[in-house]
Structure 1
Amino acid sequence: MGLRRHILRVLPFAGALAFLGFAASAQAETTLNICYINHPVQVANVAILEKWAAKQGIKLNKTVASYAVYLPKTTQMLTSGASDQCDIIWNNDDWGQDLAPYLEPLDDVPDALNVEKGQLEPFHNADGKTTAVSMTTTAGILFYRTDLIPEAELPKTWDDLVKISQKLQSEKKVKWGYVGGMSYTNTFFSFWWTLWNNGCDIYAPAYERDNNKLAAEGWKPMIDSACQLQTAEFWWDALNDKKISPPGMTTYSRDEANAIFQAGDAAFTVADTTFLGTFNNPDKSSVAGKVGIASFPVGPMNKGVRTWIDVWGWSIPKTIPDDRKAAAKKLLGAMLGDADGQIEQWNQTGGPPPNTKVWPTLEKNDAGWRKLYGILFTADHVHDAYYFRSWATVHKMYSDTLIRAMKGSRQDIAQTLKASVDMIHNGATAN
């Protein structure tokens, strides 16, 4: 669940490579370069790959980039046809379709297709082949302080969330009731989880991701709908009236929000399950051992909980030499076949194992897994992205609109939302 792309000016390719250190190493042995970001679940999965690389006689060079520069540099690398920079790259459902034409089909990697149904479509190429194998499932979940909120009293609705938050704040047990990322690319942890749990979405029909069906409906924006207005008003109130969230939260990324939660200053947050290990790590969190997971509270216009569930994966550029492709596929296959390594990844991070064949073992032996599975995988789902080329632009338009609404007066929210209808419509039809 996810990290999302920025719309950034792409630096000259040579400079990008120098900055990231994407340099091929001239080695007699088989050498593979893996490029990713410093995220807990990616680090954990790379550790599995390193273990198997050693067994397979592969030298694995690791290039870690910041999220802000990762996508533009990777995109330029792929579109330029460069073949010596990255043999294995992190891939995300947000941009999977954009990169698919430049990536090797991976259906022939053992266990590559053992994922939850519907999770690999964002990575399909024109032939319907997947261009990614999973490293984990990303999904947002409600985190809460188990020392402050009994499980039986967890919020079921937005109103519950507000009341519990205000009570804990009035008792001086926390500074804030809820904290979550709200800035562009962190929209999931505030605006979107509530949007999806209020019967709403960016385009109608809600929760549809088939471009043909969305086109048949005229790419109709829902940003001026009643469910969107209600969602925006909820957050305006949370920031400005009920004051359960920091007034500066409109600028927060997940990092700022996570830090506040880990410091013990908030009762609730929403983040990807892959941060469960960090939240409960005593070296990184003052609330370690006091963090639980729960279903999303629902809005007035929704009847049931809806979660977002998507794959983060590894991909292989088409243009690398065949011997490196074969070595990279063998390495990814070994990771997918390593049940013990995947269970350790789950234990360390809260990131579900990439191979669903491993899940029954956790179901049998791990109460924490059973709880997470019951929250995430038995609820209704939504993909967190749309799959057209200008989606990132639309995401930015949406985020900017909602931030403007938060900073203006409450009575102006409806007009602020309505003013973006044509822009969001045109953002989809421009493809």
Structure 2
Amino acid sequence: MLDIKWIRENAAALDDALAKRRAEPLSQSLIALDERRRAILLSLQDMQSRRNAASKEIGAAMAQKNSELAEKLKAEVADLKDTMPAVEEESRRIEAELSDVLSRIPNVPLDDVPVGADEAANVVTRIVGAKPTWNHKPLEHFEIGEALGLLDFEGAARIAGSRFTIVKGQLARLERALGQFMLDLHTQEHGYVEIQPPLLVRDEAMYGTGQLPKFADDLFRTTDERWLIPTAEVPLTNMVREQILEGEKLPLRFTALTPCFRSEAGSAGRDTRGMLRQHQFNKVELVSITDADTSIDEHERMTACAEEVLKRLGLHYRVMTLSTGDMGFGARKTYDLEVWLPGQDTYREISSCSVCGDFQARRMNARYRTKEEKGTKFVHTLNGSGVAIGRALIAVIENYLNEDGSVTVPDVLVPYMGGQRRIEKAA
């Protein structure tokens, strides 16, 4: 959430940021609403002050046996008591309206983010590795997995409907191996603390990271009005909500391997075959909580941590800087890692790493203080995939396909596979 004080002082900057995000200017309407809110608050304060003063004057008038003045003052106090509830209600209404509008405004992009309407304006930042070359024909992951007898889409549909997959046997173990490898890498070498967070969260947690109210249709809600997490970013980031942290202990770095649940409401007809876009998938998430001065450097570090996963798996990928029109709601800048999928003959996103500034912290009321400075500041938050496990499984299957239809296990995963080096057709 943006600071209304900042908006008042930087109206043109807000409208320019919204224009970059293909949104209408809002500064003048927001400032007008805020002025109305402030005027009502001032009026309410004046009424409260006058009521208190008049109450004291009644006592003085009665002490002086000036009954006429005392009755007049009593009538004034009674009138104020009758009037104030309506003013208080109007104050709450305006406050709620302003909060609702602010909660739906996207974050302000950093100056170096490319400006554009959509993904066509994304910029290739770097390319790592080379595309594999084979004598045999590349296949898509669902063709490979079904031929091996280890991916079952029809069975999953009978149980749960579309956009679910049953992963079997050696491929199920490979998926588990990918997750364990990523957790070990991030905790043992990158300094992240492993967390096992709740998979169900309250409205406040979804609001804190920006999923609510704008993106409710993309989420799954339970009958007891909790939400299934769309990503572990939600519980991990909210671990610092409503807290004041010691600045000297920052950054905090968390990682978690969890299932994620998304309704994919806006993706009808996209990636309907295979397991690229699912209602349920596993992902290793990275979250950092930093101070205001180090979040940009932390963004580069986090992206490098995610890249290391792909490097050790021997996968070709590229890093994209997302344009203002393709960037997420809460992000100030985002890098996408796009892995090469030979079967599709294209790059597909496998990780997205974003720096959010204090945007989420304002929604969570998460602050920090230092010994050198008075007062508190909002923390800065970052999140990234380290990486999406299902998509990593897809990438391994397609990039390590052999001519006989088997799949070679990447060297880094062999210890997690009990020494197994090849995945072959199920007996």
Relative contact order higher in (CA < 8 Å, ≥ 6 apart): 1
TM-score class, shorter-chain normalisation, is under 0.3
Choose 1 or 2 for highest CA Rg: 2
- Specify which structure has the higher proportion of strand: 2
What's the TM-score, normalizing by structure 2?
0.23
What's the TM-score, normalizing by structure 1?
0.23
